[in-house]
């Protein structure tokens, strides 16, 4: 029997999925690592923690899984996007990785607009300068840690560093490179113009490869440490949202994805890179051949719920914590939450805004709070659904994945707020499934990724909108949209008091 492994290097954990040729998940394991939040707005991780936890997961998979190491033909990756891993001459990380949800770079974003101009930046990269993207992080290190920056030989994104540690080969795939703000999207190459403007050596940018390209095999020392075979082929993999799209079958025009992980995204397939959304949504390379995708991002989606649970219900399991919400009506008995707890990206690119509970009442109990957090997250994602609809997309059906898709009640809430059918697949782990599919396709098991999707993906259930609730949510969404405008100046004034 032949197998492939998909490794999803998420923000909260690394998740490993072992698939057989029939597309069944034969074994899965997940290992957590912490976020390092030294200051307000900072978000870092230790690259070594990703490597050690992945190796621990691989050891467990080899020891407890159903196959021998020799039967594993290929491995590929999905990774949290935009995180900066700076490497020295010996390819050793020079500092902790600065992650996608770190918002320290507002000043660098301003400098990028000033130096390049908004229109030119959009023309080259198809994206605006946002705090989370990689180029502002590079400029932050250059400005604030110049001695360290001088030692930098190259930069990678999180999953590329992990892959380098498994193969010894340094490379980055197009879907992740698109999120750096250094890629010329139409030319499909690093922008020498941007490198010149910011006095960055073009050699800092790694070799570009396709997501399904082979980038070596498992190194013998890694094989010894994990139990893998040194013959196993390693494929580049892609950005978690690109892999999530592959692993949810978003492989043709008109298909839409909702993912609620730490962040949340609404993503739409694009056949070309020449549409104009005026920077309102991100526009990136897909992990599938010759394709792109657009997406809106909620910075703290699942993270808003896990933050709330950590503060108010750390001792209970997730299932226990959310179990009473089914008795709460739309509107959470007059309680409204905005999930801006680490700032926001879509539709308000704003690192200063913070979350609110509006309408707190002495009758409210934990269940109303949890319910309103889930509603607020979903309203925020609906902002992105609305941008797509305003730009002429017909959205009648959305595949929903990520940790948030584990809860059936939340899936029904998504159907009612998005006013669209919500499709739940048999695995909610879209990015990991997509990574495994890239390995399967790379190994030549299927002629196309679409053929692989037909074999690997099954619809578990469809949740249809409930008309009465759809109407109530339309009214509530209008109130939700007002909260940003009513609270942004208050947050500007509160900013001085943040640590």
Ligand X SMILES: O=C(CO)[C@@H](O)[C@H](O)COP(=O)(O)O
Ligand Y SMILES: Nc1ncnc2c1ncn2[C@@H]1O[C@H](COP(=O)(O)OP(=O)(O)O)[C@@H](O)[C@H]1O
Residues that bind ligand X (CB under 6 A): 10-11, 80-82, 100, 132, 179, 240-241, 261-263, 265, 282, 297
* Closest distance of CB 58 from ligand Y, Å: 18
Q: Could you report how far apart the first and last alpha carbons of the chain are, in Å?
A: 55
322 binds ligand Y (CB under 6 A): yes
Contact letters for ligand Y, residues 376-415 (x by CB under 6 A):
--------------------------xxx-xx--x-----
Helix residue ranges, H only, 65-157: 106-116, 118-125, 134-144, 146-150
* Closest distance of CB 304 from ligand Y, Å: 7
* Closest distance of CB 395 from ligand Y, Å: 22
331 binds ligand Y (CB under 6 A): no
Partner that binds at residue 456, options ligand X, ligand Y, none, CB closer than 5 to 8 Å by kind = none
42 binds ligand Y (CB under 6 A): no
> Judged by CB, which is closer to ligand Y: 52, or 273?
52
> Judged by CB, which is closer to ligand Y: 82, or 233?
82
Q: Which of 179, 261, 330, 465 binds ligand Y (CB under 6 A)?
A: 261
Q: Count CA atoms within 13 Å of residue 349 on its CB side.
A: 16
Q: Can you tell me the distance from the alpha carbon of 194 to that of 226, in angstroms, rounded to the nearest whole number? A: 40
Find out whether 82 is annotated in a ligand binding site. Answer: yes
Strand partners, 268: 256, 294
Locus of tokens 């139990």: 227
**Residue positions annotated with a catalytic role:** 240
221 by Cβ neighbours in 10 Å (0-12 / 13-18 / 19+) ranks as exposed
Partner that binds at residue 265, options ligand X, ligand Y, none, CB closer than 5 to 8 Å by kind = ligand X
Other CB atoms within 10 Å distance of the CB of residue 214: 18
Q: Which of 10, 83, 206, 279 binds ligand Y (CB under 6 A)?
A: 10
Q: Can you tell me the distance from the alpha carbon of 394 to that of 255, in angstroms, rounded to the nearest whole number? A: 9
Find out whether 144 is annotated in a ligand binding site. Answer: no
Cα torsion angle, 401, 404, 406, 409, sign:
negative
375, 359 Cβ separation under 8 angstroms: no
160 by Cβ neighbours in 10 Å (0-12 / 13-18 / 19+) ranks as buried
306 binds ligand Y (CB under 6 A): yes
57 binds ligand Y (CB under 6 A): no
Binding site, residues? 81-82
Residues that bind ligand Y (CB under 6 A): 10-13, 261-262, 302-303, 305-306, 318-319, 322, 402-404, 406-407, 410
């Amino acid at each position: 029997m032949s197998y492939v492994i998909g490794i999803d290097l998420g923000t909260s954990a690394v998740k490993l999925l072992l698939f057989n040729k029939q597309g069944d998940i034969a074994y899965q394991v997940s290992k957590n690592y912490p976020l390092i939040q030294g200051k307000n707005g900072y978000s870092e991780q230790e690259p070594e923690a990703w490597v050690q936890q992945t190796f621990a997961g691989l050891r467990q998979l080899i020891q407890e899984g159903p196959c021998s190491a020799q039967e594993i033909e290929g491995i590929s990756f999905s990774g949290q996007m935009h995180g900066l891993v700076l490497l020295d001459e010996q390819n050793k990380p020079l500092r902790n990785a600065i992650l996608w949800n770190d918002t320290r770079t507002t000043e660098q974003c301003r400098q990028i607009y000033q130096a390049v101009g908004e229109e030119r930046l959009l023309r080259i990269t198809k994206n605006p300068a946002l705090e989370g993207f990689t180029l502002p992080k590079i400029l932050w290190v250059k400005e604030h840690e110049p001695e360290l920056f001088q030692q930098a030989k190259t930069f990678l994104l999180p999953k590329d560093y992990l892959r380098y540690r498994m193969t010894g080969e340094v490379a980055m795939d197009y879907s992740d490179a698109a999120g750096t703000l250094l890629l010329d999207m139409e030319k499909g190459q690093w922008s020498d113009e941007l490198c010149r403007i910011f006095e960055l050596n073009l050699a800092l940018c790694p070799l570009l490869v396709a997501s399904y390209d082979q980038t070596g095999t498992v190194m013998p020392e890694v094989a010894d440490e994990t139990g893998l075979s040194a013959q196993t082929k390693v494929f580049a993999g892609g950005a978690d949202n690109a892999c999530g799209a592959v692993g949810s079958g978003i492989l043709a025009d008109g298909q839409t994805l909702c993912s609620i992980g730490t962040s949340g995204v609404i993503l739409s397939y694009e056949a070309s890179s020449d549409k104009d959304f005026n920077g309102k949504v991100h526009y990136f390379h897909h992990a599938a051949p010759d394709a792109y995708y657009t997406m809106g991002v909620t910075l703290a989606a699942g993270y808003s719920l896990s933050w709330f649970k950590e503060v108010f219900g750390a001792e209970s399991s997730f299932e226990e914590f959310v179990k009473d919400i089914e008795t709460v009506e739309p509107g959470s008995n007059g309680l409204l939450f905005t999930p801006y707890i680490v700032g926001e990206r879509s539709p308000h690119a704003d690192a200063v805004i913070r979350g609110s509970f509006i309408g707190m009442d002495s009758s409210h109990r934990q269940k109303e709070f949890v319910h309103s957090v889930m509603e607020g997250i979903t309203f925020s994602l609906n902002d992105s659904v609305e941008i797509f609809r305003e730009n002429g997309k017909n959205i009648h059906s959305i595949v929903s994945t990520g940790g948030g898709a584990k809860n059936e009640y939340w899936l029904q809430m998504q159907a009612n707020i998005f006013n669209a059918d919500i499709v739940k697949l048999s695995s909610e782990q879209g990015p990991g499934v997509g990574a495994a599919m890239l390995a399967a396709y790379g190994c030549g098991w299927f002629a196309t990724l679409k053929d692989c999707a037909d074999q690997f993906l099954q619809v578990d259930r469809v949740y249809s909108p409930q008309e009465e609730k759809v109407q109530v949510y339309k009214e509530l969404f209008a109130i939700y949209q007002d909260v940003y405008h009513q609270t942004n100046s208050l947050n500007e004034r509160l900013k001085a008091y943040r640590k």
